[in-house]
Structure 1
Amino acid sequence: MRMLILGTGGMAAQHAKHFAAIEGVTLVGGVDVDPNRLEKFNTTHNIPNGFASLDAAIAWGEFDAVANVTPDSIHHATSIAALKAGKHVFCEKPLATDATKAFEMVDVAEKSGLINMVNLTYRNVAQLQKAREIVLSGAIGAVKHVESSYLQSWLVSKAWGDWRTESQWLWRLSRKHGSNGVLGDIGVHILDFASYGSGLEIEHVFARLKTFDKAEGNKIGEYELDANDSFTMAVDFDNGALGVIHASRWATGHMNELRLRVYGEKGGVEVQHRHDGSRLRVCLGDNVESGTWEEMEVPPVPTNYQRFAEAVKTGKMQEPSFRHAAELQKVLDLATVSEQQRKELPTH
């Protein structure tokens, strides 16, 4: 597979590193509007061809697939252009800035018959994959309750940098700079963590979004600090289970942590994924009576990058697909409406 890296900032280095390590994958081109950034990126990753636009790369045409690492607002136009040019697409999350655009991308992708996947990176967590396997096996019985959280502390700690002075963080707090806050930034990840790990789909959502005071007048320079910092969701799943999903950048002491707890009538599973490792705990069989939890060792699983390469090689689609990401985007859009209207909303 000949791979084109579209957009050379942000996560692009991760895409280049992971794809280059896969046997049978060759990085053949990079695309960026910034010629200096493009040249540096291509040199670092030994990529022979550079283009100032996707149109120029498509005119050249000597590639099979695109890793779309452009800014969120550009995913829609660029992914559709690549698909219409006959190229498979591996797109960064979120698929689009709203569900309408996301489903337009789904329509083009599915009609094309090409491989389309979204890099929901926490699918790479082996403990999450195993938890889903246990749930779907029926080992915990019918799921009754789900808890899921994504906790970050960069509004409290300077471990990742100082949001008060660094634009890479400030823009995430400002709606006019393109941010939809914690909901838009990591909401798709924790929704996927919850729905994929539990094997369930969300049918109703009631959400609350909160923006906390962070500076005098809630403004620093050109940045108006009006994007949401925390959200909570009460959800109904398609089997009748209840769920609570929440995320915050004010979670003191939690650098970057995702948690999932799935409780059924015969047992439970709990996943904790942190920057320094992951854990899977299970309470099954006779342990249910004593409330005993046991940690389970889990071998690594193929990454999204590896599974995309395999899908292109075999011609068989793998998840997470554009359609799955669009369904998650629908829930995110409804969360905002739910906050505005202060009521529960159906997803279908």
Structure 2
Amino acid sequence: MFFYAGAGDDELSALLSIKSGLIDPLAALQDWKTSPLCNWTGVRCNAAGSVESLNLSHMNLSGVIAAGDLQGLPSLIYLNLCCNSFTSSLPKFFTNLTMLKVFDISENFFVGEFPVGLGKSPSLTVLNASGNNFVGRLPEDVGNATALESLDLRGSFFQGSIPTSYKNLKKLKFLGLSGNNLTGELPAELGQLSSLEKLIIGYNEFEGNIPPELGNLTSLKYLDLAVGNLNGSIPGELGQLPILTTLFLFKNNLEGEIPKEIGNISSLTLLDLSDNQISGEIPLELAQLSNLQLLNLMCNNLNGPVPAAIGEANTVRSP
């Protein structure tokens, strides 16, 4: 059993300053008054009595979070502001958060550009800023946070291209950038993210070809490049993804034939190539996909018969 001697005066001041900037209609933080602050709602301390966790999620909070206040919590490893009503911008810079492992500000209404500085958090494993109203470019310095395992920036208004610095995130398992205004070509460097299991970057304005280097992502289970301006042919290298279960490429400008190599992905359960300009015949090799539950090829320029073996597969359903 740990006895908390109490966090320092600097941390007390930092937390009270944070509270002063918040609008708290549910009085969720009414016990934020006097020490011991380690017993305050949403606050957790380590054995030394320093604040290591601040969980203010699902409290209907709004207002402003100042950079100086967070920097007054140098031992912070967990910050969760998820699912509130913040409509302000974040500080332009975050410094002194070198211990941070989890940074979650998802499902709010934060505006402005995403702050710089989290790339200097060497232990950061989770960054979730999805479901906000950020603008400007994706944070390039995040590519320096090489311990990252999950990077979720979906559902804002980010512009520009995917930073090439993200190629450094060798431990990344989840990359979500969908539902923004991203443009440019998909960087071939994405194929260097050897730990990636889910790549969800559809619903943007990407153009150019699908990089064949994505075929190097042998841990990939979920690939969503749907709804964009991608063109060229579907690379046969995608057939090298041994445990892929979901492949969504619908609503692009893809052309050429369906590569027969897709039939090598025996784990595939969902395959949607609809609303493109794909031509030629449906390859017989797709009948080898014994786990397939959804096959959607509508609104293309396909010709010829549907291979009988596909029609006989009792697990496949149409959309």
Return the TM-score normalized by structure 1. Answer: 0.27
* Higher share in helix: 1
Structure 1 or 2, whichever has the larger Rg, is 2
Return the TM-score normalized by structure 2. Answer: 0.29
* Higher share in strand: 1
Q: Which has the higher contact order (CA 8 A, sep 6+)?
A: 1
